[in-house]
Amino acid sequence: MLSKKSTLIRAVLLVLSLAVGSSLAVAAPAGAATGDIGYEGPSYAGAKYPPTQDKPQSKLWWNDGSWWADMYDAASLRWEIFRLDRSTEQWTSTEVPVDVRAGSLADVLWDGSHLYIASHAVTVSTDEAPVASKPGNPAFLYRYSYAGGRYVLDPGFPSTITSNSSESMTIDVDSTGSVWATWTQVAGSSTSGFTNAVFANRSSPGGDSWGVPFIVPVTGSAVAPDDISSLVRFAGNKIGILWSNQLDETVYWAVHVDGSPTQSWQGRSALSGNSSADDHLSIRSLDSDGQGRVFAAVKTSANDASADKTLPQLMLLVYRPSLQNFDVRTIATVGDCVTRPNVLLDTVNSLVRAYFTAPTGTGCSYSGQPGTIYEKTAPLDDPRFVAGRGIPVVRDGDSANMNDVTGTKQAVTSASGVVVLATNNATKRYWHADIPLGSAQPAAPVAQFSSSASSGQAPLAVSFTDASTGVPTSWSWDFGDGATSTERNPVHNYGTAGTFTVTLVATNAAGSGTSTRPGLVTVTAAPAGGSSSVAFRAASGAANTATTSVSVDVPSGAVTGDLLVAAVSVRGAPTLSPPAGWSLVRLDSNGTTSRTAVYQHRLSAGDAPLLTWRLSSAQAATLGVVAYSGVSSASPVDVDAGLVTSAAGRSIAAPSVTTTTAGDVVVGVFSSAVAATWTPPAGTTERVDVATSTTTYKVSQSIVDLLRPVAGATGTWAATASASGAGTGQLVALRPGS
């Protein structure tokens, strides 16, 4: 069935100056209805849900010179693979089937050799009207091979990801070839109450068989019925999951390193605070980015919490693995009346492109009002968006009901341009925008890089991270001690003392760029006789019952320049707020029973003598602070545990970690949700042993340390509590230095 605009010529979309980082949609093409922008596509009548409604999902991919999409065909009443004819701007079905279930939605991924489509049965929950996920309504993974302009379903597919329905599901493929999926799963009833949790699963390489679905084992994975999750591959060898948690007003982030155990994850908050979380997520990574950055667009709930129109409504979170933190930028404010963001990465113009829904006219009648799809852009390296809604790119002049924009997981190029797909659920029609990007002039890279350390004792392992712009294709490193490397992000081990100049030459087809950093790394001789510059100085500990803070004095005897290491163990899962200037090393939990956080801070002359941690809810808590002298000022933490053992019993084991620096002091933190005393691991010295004193609110912890004159594996450390309870054990190594 042809649309009313099947004969429209292609729209003209111009790219403005890169200096302002924006694109402009010119008036509608000749023959279009007044006010139309973009192109009307086929009908999706018969689909149970608007086909593009799931916010984290991608429906489009670029392959073999064409745009393709997973779309619902109103004639066959099934999901099929469609191709866009850009000469007519019409979508045409290839008649290759995907899923026959009208009540399903899907996420798609083209990885360069196979097409993966994860199609799941949909159950939509809201906080006001939660609906339990339905068993016997599976999510399937379809894998297709491509040849001769046609996709063919591979033998053995579809495979089953999970047997339960879900509101959302996204997928990506890690460096081992395994497919990962994430979703949230609601359980319970109106009688018993409803719960929701963030789930994940991993397939065998290739995706033809799957493991057992599991709840992501980090803090914050118990969420509200309305919350959803999304995942992305990044930095070459990692999978990251991002999700909203409207229970504690936090957006969480968890990372899995390829090849490690399936349930080995490190979690942290990405964005937290009043009304920071809402169930709108879109996340992308850039394979060619030497920094391994991840870009995520999220929506806050600020419109529900305040009448202040200047508060952020859509935010861009930029994760930098080298720093393990998020930069937060505002895309649009509450006053812009925006919703349902989707983000794309433009490698031609080095832009972040954000797309979202906002009303066609000024103002808005209600939050989430459909109308028009808008675009805003900002530089990849410094993503600052100008004020306002941006440029309209998809609009139906006859029916102001455009919504739910979706795109591709891939970075867009001058060959692909930008195609985004949206739906008008009043007319049951697809619409799309086709935005040319032009051809950027090739430029030689501008070489730049960072290092994990600038000083330390031999042997000193230093990780170098390429941060060059201009998309280099090869790298040449000179570490200053006669050693070289052609890896993008090498790790070099300095075995002798000295001061070394490091040089990087980054090259692409247009030329080379060089960055030389004189005296970047200073290495001192290894300690003799097993001594170390790191030394215990002092410690203090405290405990409370169910209150919203726990405090302890700075350890007596600590002096300016000492490194303070703090461990806070709490019942339940409250949000923790440290004193000003303290940074989180790691945060681990034992389900919702308890959690332990480790922090660090360099003591300065202006610090307050009393250290106080705030809790978002009244809980029992213990706090231990230990001061060390002689810890490296450039990079104090050598390594922290990639896996934490949680157990119910008296013996709590912290898994082995491998230290990279001789003379490290390894600090072990053990906690239990009981009031107990501790027997430390063999060979260690206990610095803190503290527990709550009541029988109702119970938590205890022990902090121990051990000098390790030789780098290498620590082995498992086990501490024993005087009573049995759920507990955690974790190790953190402190690097010696000036």
SS (H, E, C) 295-346: EEEEECCHHHHCCCCCCEEEEEEEEECCCCEEEEEEEEEHHHCCEEEEEEEE
CATH entry, 449-524, from 2.60.40.10, 3.30.365.10, 3.50.50.60, 1.10.10.10: 2.60.40.10
Percent of the chain at pLDDT exceeding 70: 91
pLDDT tier, 724 (very low <50, low <70, confident <90, very high otherwise): confident
DSSP string over 171-226? EEE-TTSEEEEEEEEEEEETTTEEEEEEEEEEEEETSSSB---EE--STT-EE-TT
**Mean per-residue pLDDT of the chain:** 87
**283: Cβ contacts below 8 Å, ≥ 6 apart:** 56, 230, 231, 232, 240, 242, 294, 295, 296, 297, 343
From the CB of residue 531, how many other CB atoms can be counted at a distance below 10 Å? Answer: 13
What pLDDT score does 276 carry? 87
> Residue 85: is its pLDDT beyond 90?
yes
What pLDDT score does 68 carry? 98
Q: Which residue has the higher pLDDT, 37 or 380?
A: 37
Distance CA 451, CA 724 (A): 44
Distance CA 299, CA 10 (A): 32
What pLDDT score does 605 carry? 79
Task: State the average pLDDT over residues 572-584.
Answer: 89
pLDDT in tens, 228-255: 999 999 998 999 999 999 999 899 999 9
Whether the pTM exceeds 0.75: the reply is no
pLDDT tier, 710 (very low <50, low <70, confident <90, very high otherwise): confident
> Residue 440: is its pLDDT beyond 70?
no
Domain spans, the chain: 1-42+295-439, 98-279, 449-524, 528-734
CATH entry, 98-279, from 3.65.10.10, 3.90.25.10, 2.170.130.10, 2.120.10.10: 2.120.10.10
Instruction: Pull the structure tokens for residue 648.
Output: 């119910």
**655: Cβ contacts below 8 Å, ≥ 6 apart:** 641, 643, 644, 645, 716, 729, 731
> Residue 290: is its pLDDT beyond 50?
yes
Give the residue from 561, 684, 581, 667 showing the smallest Cα distance to 624.
667
pLDDT in tens, 201-235: 999 999 999 999 999 999 999 999 999 999 999 99
pLDDT tier, 695 (very low <50, low <70, confident <90, very high otherwise): low
What pLDDT score does 287 carry? 67
pLDDT tier, 159 (very low <50, low <70, confident <90, very high otherwise): very high
Give the residue from 406, 372, 401 showing the smallest Cα distance to 389.
372
Instruction: Pull the structure tokens for residue 36.
Output: 């139309």
Distance CA 168, CA 58 (A): 11
What pLDDT score does 648 carry? 67
Widest Cα–Cα separation across the chain: 85
What pLDDT score does 471 carry? 73
Burial of 579 (0-12, 13-18, 19+ CB in 10 A): middle
Alpha helices in 44-96 (DSSP H): none
